[in-house]
Chains A and B, each alone.
Chain A
Amino acid sequence: MTALTLTPIRVRARRPVGVTVAAAFLGLVVPAAVLAPLLAPYAPDAIDLSASLAGTSPGHLLGTDSSGQDLLSRVLYGARTSLIAPLLLLAVAALLGVTLGVLAAWRGGWTDAFVSRLTDVMYAFPGLLFTVLIIAVFGTGMTTSVLALGLAYTPTVAKYTRSLALSESRKPYVDAYRVQGMGGARICALYLVPNLGRSVAGYLVVLFGEALMSLATLSYLGFGAQPPSSDWGLMVQEGQASVVQGALLPALVPGTAIALVVVSFNVVGVWAADRLGGRN
């Protein structure tokens, strides 16, 4: 038949090559972040104005920024904040989201309606605007950004958890524990939530790439990490001025780092979520 023929797209549960490459890359990035003090040739904040905007050279493998700081060293150190901060914000979102979701599913009725209205209101803020509102009120900074984004991701996690918890709470073992006279809170904490763990974890892995992008964006806007941090988003912002002068590395090096790490996490995340049963 002709090439125009359409048949249903097979679900690509595995993409071995892409996943392998992405996982291998992350397998390099994470140890590099941990070992940054050992690997980095310079201190991340070592200013050397005589080497301002130097291109790649044996001394500076990825060049320097306008203050002459070594970009490779900064990106290595920046990997620490850039990777840990999304983890923290997802932890906040998971704590709040799972609590709200399980509560809504378990209690139903009034509680469920309240959580769902709360979710609706937060969904009325597109993109990062809910986070931006919180930052407008509480001021800029990494802590505010992590907490605000954690709050912004809460409805998504809550909604997901609620649907899982709802079907889980109808399983026979829940009734069995009830008959034994066990309280709802105990059943939830000891059995229900642990049983949801795998799926929620899979879902969080998928969210990680997006969380990293969101945080980097906040830092880029000046709302998140503050100088002299080597956060990748902030580095792009600082490097942007040099781009117009023709020095592309200060902005492109951290920018590429963000893109590569996010794409790797997305590829691995979707694959992992399929395995953990975390996707839909």
Chain B
Amino acid sequence: MLLTLDHLTVDLPGAARPLLDEVSLRVAPGEVVGLVGESGSGKSTTAKAALGLLPGGATASGTVRVGDADVLALTGENLRRHRARTVAMVHQDPRAALNPVRRIGDFLRERGADRTRAVELLAAVGLSDPERRLRQRPHELSGGMLQRVVIAGALAVRPRLLLADEATSALDVTTQAEILALLRTLRAEQGAGMLFITHDLHLAAAYCDRVYVMYAGRVVEERTARALFAGPAHPYTRGLLSCSPTLGDTSRTLLPIPGRPPSLSDSFPGCPFAARCPDAEPECETWRPVAVDLPDGGTTACRRVPAAVPAAAERSTT
């Protein structure tokens, strides 16, 4: 395995519930894995854990492994080297991710690319006149161009794992498609694994091999993209699929999930989704979610899905 999260729980002092609650997740080398959820579901925290980057004051239990490295145990120079060489992140808003007062060239050099390599990288991400770009500053480039720069920076060290955190949601639709295609090609060329974080389940299902759906700091369903699309098992996943529009799909009525996404001050004795769930029964309010295996190999954590075998513990050892 390239990335292994095992029962990762992250607690923040002052919060009523854990930021992440027993999150287990895998990314194999070369695999593209989607991580889907509403804002606040813990998907960014999960991704940053792979970098050993936890929110200030947070405490973590469980394990995070990238290759052979136990990320949560890394400190100092080892942690820095891990972030610099093994894992790279593409952020949501490229304009925020780049230092506005420094040049594009400085940004790439800082990520280990010398001048020749920097020009090469900028050409590879499809920027015209790379020589000139090196001398420009972020405010001289458009959002789409900047995201290409950020991708160039992420690929500079040939990382084994790419984290794309809402990498296209700050861009307009045409640019989004271009950037997605670019990410896919370059990732494939370098053979890196990717954790693709988005709030758009349709996009994740179309773009990834496998998808994890998160809700209130927990993984509620894990399926192959095809299985997820064909038969979502968890009511939340079904809700997500029916509340987002897709191209050429005008006849279907969009059904928003009722209620509001949970915040860190809400705690749940039972299933966190029960309050918004159309299928909820009184017992759901007190049932602590456990992931169960699905016949097609995925897992889900819903009381009403018949349990074939209680899953998570066994799966984590395989």
| Cross-chain contact A7 with B76 (CB below 8 angstroms) | no
CB distance from A1 to the nearest CB of B (A): 8
Residue-wise, chain A 1-16 has the 8 Å CB interface mask toward B (1 for contact) of 1100001000000000
Find chain B residues with CB under 8 A from A2 CB. 76
- In the bound assembly, the distance between CA atoms of A1 and B79 in angstroms comes to 9
Find chain B residues with CB under 8 A from A7 CB. 56
* Chain A 41-55 residues near chain B, CB threshold 8 A: none
Find chain A residues with CB under 8 A from B75 CB. 1
For the A-B complex, the count of residue pairs with Cβ-Cβ distances under 8 Å equals 4
- In the bound assembly, the distance between CA atoms of A252 and B97 in angstroms comes to 54
CB distance from A6 to the nearest CB of B (A): 11
- In the bound assembly, the distance between CA atoms of A7 and B54 in angstroms comes to 13
Whose C-beta in chain B lies nearest to the C-beta of A5?
Answer: B56
- In the bound assembly, the distance between CA atoms of A2 and B56 in angstroms comes to 13
- In the bound assembly, the distance between CA atoms of A206 and B24 in angstroms comes to 54
Find chain A residues with CB under 8 A from B79 CB. 1
Interface size class of B (residues with CB under 8 A): under 10
Find chain A residues with CB under 8 A from B76 CB. 2
CB distance from A58 to the nearest CB of B (A): 56
Whose C-beta in chain A lies nearest to the C-beta of B52?
Answer: A1
- In the bound assembly, the distance between CA atoms of A146 and B73 in angstroms comes to 65
Find chain B residues with CB under 8 A from A1 CB. 75, 79
Chain A at the B interface: SS class: loop
Find chain A residues with CB under 8 A from B56 CB. 7
Whose C-beta in chain A lies nearest to the C-beta of B77?
Answer: A2
* Chain B 47-94 residues near chain A, CB threshold 8 A: 56, 75-76, 79
- In the bound assembly, the distance between CA atoms of A7 and B56 in angstroms comes to 8
CB distance from A5 to the nearest CB of B (A): 9
CB distance from A245 to the nearest CB of B (A): 56
- In the bound assembly, the distance between CA atoms of A209 and B76 in angstroms comes to 45
Whose C-beta in chain A lies nearest to the C-beta of B80?
Answer: A2
- In the bound assembly, the distance between CA atoms of A72 and B56 in angstroms comes to 52
- In the bound assembly, the distance between CA atoms of A1 and B76 in angstroms comes to 7
- In the bound assembly, the distance between CA atoms of A65 and B56 in angstroms comes to 57
Whose C-beta in chain B lies nearest to the C-beta of A7?
Answer: B56
- In the bound assembly, the distance between CA atoms of A72 and B76 in angstroms comes to 57
* Chain B 16-56 residues near chain A, CB threshold 8 A: 56
- In the bound assembly, the distance between CA atoms of A7 and B76 in angstroms comes to 17
- In the bound assembly, the distance between CA atoms of A1 and B58 in angstroms comes to 12
Whose C-beta in chain B lies nearest to the C-beta of A2?
Answer: B76
Whose C-beta in chain B lies nearest to the C-beta of A8?
Answer: B56
CB distance from A129 to the nearest CB of B (A): 36
- In the bound assembly, the distance between CA atoms of A2 and B76 in angstroms comes to 6
- In the bound assembly, the distance between CA atoms of A2 and B80 in angstroms comes to 11
- In the bound assembly, the distance between CA atoms of A1 and B83 in angstroms comes to 13
- In the bound assembly, the distance between CA atoms of A181 and B79 in angstroms comes to 70
- In the bound assembly, the distance between CA atoms of A1 and B57 in angstroms comes to 11
Whose C-beta in chain A lies nearest to the C-beta of B76?
Answer: A2
- In the bound assembly, the distance between CA atoms of A198 and B76 in angstroms comes to 50
CB distance from A164 to the nearest CB of B (A): 33
* Chain A 1-37 residues near chain B, CB threshold 8 A: 1-2, 7
- In the bound assembly, the distance between CA atoms of A234 and B100 in angstroms comes to 52
CB distance from B271 to the nearest CB of A (A): 35
- In the bound assembly, the distance between CA atoms of A1 and B75 in angstroms comes to 7
- In the bound assembly, the distance between CA atoms of A2 and B79 in angstroms comes to 11
- In the bound assembly, the distance between CA atoms of A93 and B286 in angstroms comes to 65
- In the bound assembly, the distance between CA atoms of A2 and B75 in angstroms comes to 8
- In the bound assembly, the distance between CA atoms of A7 and B79 in angstroms comes to 18
CB distance from A239 to the nearest CB of B (A): 51
- In the bound assembly, the distance between CA atoms of A168 and B79 in angstroms comes to 52
- In the bound assembly, the distance between CA atoms of A7 and B53 in angstroms comes to 13
CB distance from A186 to the nearest CB of B (A): 47
CB distance from A271 to the nearest CB of B (A): 24
Residue-wise, chain A 157-183 has the 8 Å CB interface mask toward B (1 for contact) of 000000000000000000000000000
CB distance from A10 to the nearest CB of B (A): 10
Which residues of B line the A interface, CB within 8 A? 56, 75-76, 79
For the complex of A and B, 4 pairs with smallest distance between CB atoms: A7-B56, A2-B76, A1-B75, A1-B79
A-B contact pairs, 4 of them (CB 8 A): A1-B75, A1-B79, A2-B76, A7-B56
